[in-house]
Chains A and B, each alone.
Chain A
Amino acid sequence: MRIDAGFDITVPPGWHVAGRNRDNVPGTLLVHAATVPLPRIRGDFGSGVLPTLDPDDVFVCLFEYDREAVGTALFQSKGVPRPRPSEFDPSAMQWVRPGMSGGQWFFNTSGRAWCLFAVLGSHARRQPGALKVGALLRGVRIR
């Protein structure tokens, strides 16, 4: 599935994916993916989606920042991350939700600066949850 000219994603079984440029400004892509239906009204970092996650569900947000950010220290990591189960932390959530776990990774690829924010429905089940996130991210192609 092509979200814009420089972003393709393969949708794994059971996933819902949606993407748009924020405020219709090119180069400010916001992509949401989840193993649950994505509600019509949801925040940039998943508010509106997270309450619907069951323990085996996951939510992923890819948030593109201005291209000027590419050279900054925050985005120095190259390539789409592959989050490990141990990198998920209940306290990494923007709003702590009982039982859930999250993680945030900043990176650059193809001259574009990104934040990956991922949430697992259950910290206790972070092993299979992280695998699901990895399965989605393996299908991301950014040019």
Chain B
Amino acid sequence: MNAAVVALGVAVLLLSVLVAGLLRSHAEILRALHELGAGLELDKTGAVPITPEQRRTASTPDTVVGRTLGDEVVAVSLLGGETLIAFLSSGCSTCQGFWKAFRHEVRDVPGGARLLVVTRGLDEESPSALMERQPTVVPLVLSDEAWDAFEVPGAPYFAYVNSSGRVIGEGTGNSWKQVVELMTQARADAALQIKGSGAVRDGRDSLALQDAGIEPGHPSLYGESA
């Protein structure tokens, strides 16, 4: 009887150690996955803004240069008007909703900005898949250079560039509606940043000044020559 109790105790102890080991390894796997960025469930988290302050580079290019699926060399100036760049890929599942939304003319781009879709070049993209998805009106540019210059972490990703070429909002979402909300908020935040400087009277003026390249601290706001 005693022997049976001892044997049972040893078995329970062994099983406890085994369960503890399994729990520990599971926790390590989850931690490693978290560090790799997995588990970002856009359905639950919604739009994910990434503030421009997090950028490693201070400036982005004035022009997106790349190619079209028709093998044209193409360049789109980001100056002189606001532009919303949609970095998409043909393969990502979340992107499929955006490809569908952009198939025809898009009228609800925040601030009336131009919409531009940018994918990786054909070394990393499927021409046939892009051909199926490419919009009829919204321009599509294949440009590794743009992805690198904007430090795009993955698709889908959106960057809102004001008319002086500065990124005033960026991030991702799982639907066009979320992106519209995110970028509308980013534009409003950008206007408030200027308003907070005490330099201008209202948001519309702020955006107009920002578009002209006049930002907080600009000498012209204080009666000095620029």
Contacts and interface: CB of A to CB of B under 8 A. Distances in A.
B72 A19 contact: yes
Contacts of B114: 37
Interface residues of A, number: 21
Contact of A20 (B73, B79, B80): B73
B75 A11 contact: yes
Contacts of A25: none
A40 B68 contact: yes
B53 interface: no
A54 to B, nearest CB: 12
A14 B68 CA distance: 19
A13 B79 contact: yes
A17 B62 CA distance: 14
B136 A41 contact: yes
B76 interface: yes
Contact of B75 (A1, A4, A39): A1
Interface string B49-83: 00000000000001101001111111111011100
B140 to A, nearest CB: 7
B136 A40 contact: yes
7 closest residue pairs by CB, A with B = A14-B80, A13-B80, A13-B79, A20-B72, A18-B74, A1-B75, A18-B72
Interface of A: 1-4, 9, 11-20, 24, 37-41
Interface of B: 62-63, 65, 68-77, 79-81, 114, 116, 134-140, 163
Given A11-B76, A40-B69, A40-B135, 17 more contacts: A11-B77, A12-B77, A14-B77, A15-B80, A16-B77, A16-B139, A17-B74, A17-B75, A18-B75, A19-B74, A20-B70, A20-B73, A37-B139, A39-B137, A40-B70, A40-B134, A40-B139
